Structure formats: structure tokens, C-alpha cells
Amino acid sequence: MLRVFQSILLIILVPAMLLANDPQDSVDTAMHLDDQKSSKKKNAWRKLGQSTLIYAPDDFSIQEPEQMTFKLEGVRMDVYSRDFAQGDVVYLEILRPAGVHGFYSYLYDKDGNQLPLTRTAWGYRILLPIGAQDKREKIELLWKQSVADRFGKARIEIPINEKSFPQTRWYNRVGQFLPEIAPRMAGGEESDPSPEAAESPDPPGGSGTENRENLSAVQPAPGKEPSSESGSDTGPAHDSQSALDSADSEIQETAEEREKREQKEKQALEEEKSEEQLSNFMKKITLEKSLRSQVFERKGNDLITSRLSHPRDMHYVTSQCFTSRVKVSYRYENGRRVEVGRRVVMHNGVDLRGRPGTPIYSIADGQVVLARSMHFEGNFTIIDHGLGIFSGYMHQSNLRVQVGQYVRAGERIGDVGNTGYSTGPHLHLSLWIRGVPVDPISLYSLPIRD
Ligand SMILES: [Zn+2]
């Protein structure tokens, strides 16, 4: 009995201790110093609704949310969203009626899965995603509650506004190998809502994230210069076997033949080397893929508070969230450009301009669960905000946090850069809610309360 009591105490105490050893004041001071050093523009805490504070640059205008209200036997549910449109985050509150003992609320999705409500002093809250590809006309929820031994339930319908996203076309010249591997690992298909579909690689060679209609430079395979003619769709082309055969044979050869043979042997060696490089590359990609999926499997406690932050000290969007990118692969045949395939890849995040070295702030309180260099994302940080909510910050020039560290909204976590698959210095910010990518900017319309 005593043991049970102790473990209950522990469960209650641990989150309280985490909060206690992180005084907000010192964080604020640090942030303002950072701003003065690296930018003329200054972020400030701005109020949204009754008690939400958003640390945002002065050129960012906060869009007031749309609101819907539902009632069940006198209990009120308020639902907020920027537009209740595809790609938006939805914030839902259930308000505890005054002076009632024993108030419990439960929420289920259309398939009967219970949704993770956070219980607060004033009731319950939850963030819900509307996927960019969500074809539903409405969010259907089942709301059950008990208020002082009276049970009630209601079906909630929240209409989804259809939104169209712009489409851009990217051209990618197919190298000798990699044509299948790289984009699929990084980008995921249009219909893939998994967090693995993090960032699709930007074509190298452009001068910025806007420069997409131009033909971009050839995507080089690792350790190998792309050859101009003999492209292959199926993988590396090999002549090495015939070269090895001739090396083993015992025929008399002329000096010229010998020179030819040695050249072939050298070529075969080089190809073996690049095969080794390819295999190392594949190992790295596989490792990074598993790191990503491990991170997204985490089920951390809800750490989000009434304080949110813009990730930058200026608001300049160079590529909107959910712009679909039509990636056209081509190669040259007899001097003519021939299309060899096209895929539609969704841009699951927002690109924000910034000079290299300018600050990146955590968008909400959370725990750093990944902070490392990755092939596609460059220097990449993922912050776990709890209950399946993660934010991701890509292409950084410098990481300023470590895995395991707790960060506050508005705390500087890194610097803008141009690492990984990126066409110029910018921050790619992603936000995932239980596996569904949403537009991070839509978070700043939500009057989230502690
Ligand atoms: Zn991006």
C-alpha cells in the first residue's frame, strides 16, 4: 500500500520538479541579449486572447482565430482554428462548470479511438490536426462526460474548409545512380502523411528557395561525378566484371593492350570505391531514417504552455507550407532532354528566410529529442512538445541544444543556415501532430491556456 502511494507521489512530483528548476526570468534575459547581438529586429511578447503570449517579430501579424462553441448539458466546449481549413491546427477546450465536483470529459474520433485530452485546472484541452490532404468534410468527434454522476454524450461536427495550395515545378537531372533512392527516402509521396515525409530535398544549384522554375544543376551521386550521357534508371552501370576477366586471362598482350587493360582495371577499382561509398551512404540514410521514426514513436507528457514563439526574428516566408512540388526527372538522350518520371511531393513545412547565424527559437516548451547533422535536413533539431506533437528545425548552421534538454518557447535553439538539401540560407520549420504534418504558422492563432 505504501509503495503504491509512493509511486503516485512520484508521478505527481516529477513534472512539477521539471517546471520548478527552470526559472522563466533567466530565459527572457538570455533571449533579449541574443536578439541585440544578431539582429536589429526585436521580438516581443504579444497577447492573444485572454492569457496566451506569443513571442514574435514586429513584422508578423497574428491572425485572430475563428471560434465554434458546443454545449452538452450546460458544459461548454470552445473550438478555435485559424481558418478550420486543411493544414490548420485546431485547439479545443472543454470548460469545467463552476462549483461542480467530479467532472470528467472524454473525446473519441470517428473510429472510436480515444483522444489524449490534457486535464487542467479549468477543464480539458487538446490540439487536433487537419491534414493538408484531409478529404473529410468535417471533423466528427464523440464527446462523453460525467458531471456529478450525470452522464452525457454528444456528437460534435466541425466543418473543414477546403483550401487549395499552390504548385511549383522542379526539374531534376537524373545522375548515374540515386535516381530512386534519394527523393523517396527524404520526401515521401504526396499521400504519405507520416512524419518521415519530413523535408523533400531541394534541388541543388539554385540561388534560393524561390528559384524553382529554372532548371537546376545536376544532382551529383555521392563520390562520383555525374556522367553526361550514359544514365541508367536501374542503378549503377558496371563494366567491372569484364575488366576483371581480362586481368585473369593469360593472353600475350601488346604494350597498347596492356595500357588499355590497366586503364580498365583502374576504372574497375574506382567503381568499387564508389560502390563502397554508396553502401556507406545507404547505411547513413537507413540509420537516419530509423532515428527519425524512433523519435516520432515517443509519447511524452504535454509540455505546451500558454507561451508560444515565432521561430525567427523576422517573418519572411519563402515557401509556404503544403506547396506541392511537381518533381520532373529528366536525362539527356542524344543531346535532347527526355523526361523519365514525375512525382508530386508535398512541402510539409514552411520556409522562412534568414541570414546565416541569425537566431532560431523553439516555438513552444518541450524537450529536445534530436539535434544532429542529417543528410537531407542538414543540422536538424526535433523538439517533443508531448502527446505526439513535434516541431522540427532544418538546415541550421549551428545547433545550440542537446538531446534531453528542456527548452522554453522563445528560447534560442540554433542558428539559420544552409546545411543539407537546401538552396540557400533559410529555416525549414515543420510541425507534426500525432503523425499529421500541419502548417506551423496556424499555431499562432490559437489562444492556448495552461
Ligand atoms: Zn522547406
**Lowest mean pLDDT across 31-40, 117-126, 191-200, 412-421:** 191-200
Distance between Cα 287 and ligand 1 center (Å): 22
* All three cell numbers of 389: 506533437
Helices (H) and strands (E) in the chain, counts: 5, 25
Confidence class of residue 262 from pLDDT cuts 50, 70 and 90? confident
**pLDDT tens per residue across span 350-393:** 999 999 999 999 999 999 999 999 999 999 999 999 999 999 99
Distance between Cα 85 and ligand 1 center (Å): 21
pLDDT for 244: 30
Q: What residues contact residue 331 under an 8 Å CB cut-off, 6+ apart?
A: 173, 174, 231, 337, 338, 340
pLDDT for 348: 94
Host H or E run for residue 26: helix 24-38
Residue 196 CB neighbour total at 10 angstroms: 15
**Lowest mean pLDDT across 36-45, 148-157, 187-196:** 187-196
Virtual torsion, Cα 5, 97, 53, 125, nearest 10 deg: 60
Q: CA–CA distance from 61 to each of 47, 172, 192 (Å)?
A: 12, 36, 31
Distance between Cα 428 and ligand 1 center (Å): 4
Reference 104, options 69, 71, 151; nearest CA is: 151
Distance between Cα 313 and ligand 1 center (Å): 18
Distance between Cα 430 and ligand 1 center (Å): 8
**pLDDT tens per residue across span 58-106:** 999 999 999 999 999 999 999 999 999 999 999 999 999 988 888 999 9
Distance between Cα 392 and ligand 1 center (Å): 11
Confidence class of residue 266 from pLDDT cuts 50, 70 and 90? confident
pLDDT for 21: 32
Distance between Cα 431 and ligand 1 center (Å): 12
8 Å CB contact between 428 and 199: yes
What distance in Å separates the CA atoms of residue 324 and residue 307, rounded to the nearest whole number?
31
Distance between Cα 62 and ligand 1 center (Å): 22
pLDDT for 384: 97
**pLDDT tens per residue across span 177-236:** 443 333 333 322 222 223 333 343 333 333 334 333 333 333 333 333 333 323 222 233
Hey, what long-range contacts does 77-82 have (CB within 8 A, 24 or more apart)? 77/143, 77/156, 79/158, 80/445, 80/446, 80/447, 81/130, 81/442, 81/445, 81/446, 82/441, 82/442, 82/445, 82/446
Report, as an integer, the average pLDDT of 21-50: 56
**383/333: higher pLDDT:** 383
pLDDT for 236: 30
274 by DSSP, 3-state: which? Answer: helix
Mean pLDDT, all residues of the chain: 78
Confidence class of residue 343 from pLDDT cuts 50, 70 and 90? confident
Confidence class of residue 255 from pLDDT cuts 50, 70 and 90? confident
Q: Would the pTM of this model clear 0.75, i.e. be above it? A: no
* All three cell numbers of 344: 508530386
pLDDT for 243: 29
**pLDDT tens per residue across span 316-332:** 999 999 998 888 888 88
pLDDT for 175: 62
What distance in Å separates the CA atoms of residue 423 and residue 168, rounded to the nearest whole number?
15
Q: What residues contact residue 50 under an 8 Å CB cut-off, 6+ apart?
A: 447, 449
**pLDDT tens per residue across span 4-19:** 433 333 333 333 333 3
Q: CA–CA distance from 15 to each of 129, 301, 308 (Å)?
A: 26, 9, 19
**Lowest mean pLDDT across 25-34, 103-112, 250-259, 402-411:** 25-34
Reference 204, options 418, 372, 355; nearest CA is: 418
Distance between Cα 323 and ligand 1 center (Å): 10
Distance between Cα 325 and ligand 1 center (Å): 11
Distance between Cα 199 and ligand 1 center (Å): 6
Confidence class of residue 168 from pLDDT cuts 50, 70 and 90? confident
What distance in Å separates the CA atoms of residue 425 and residue 352, rounded to the nearest whole number?
9
For the chain, how many residues are written?
Answer: 450
**152/268: higher pLDDT:** 152
Reference 370, options 350, 337, 392, 338; nearest CA is: 392
pLDDT for 316: 95
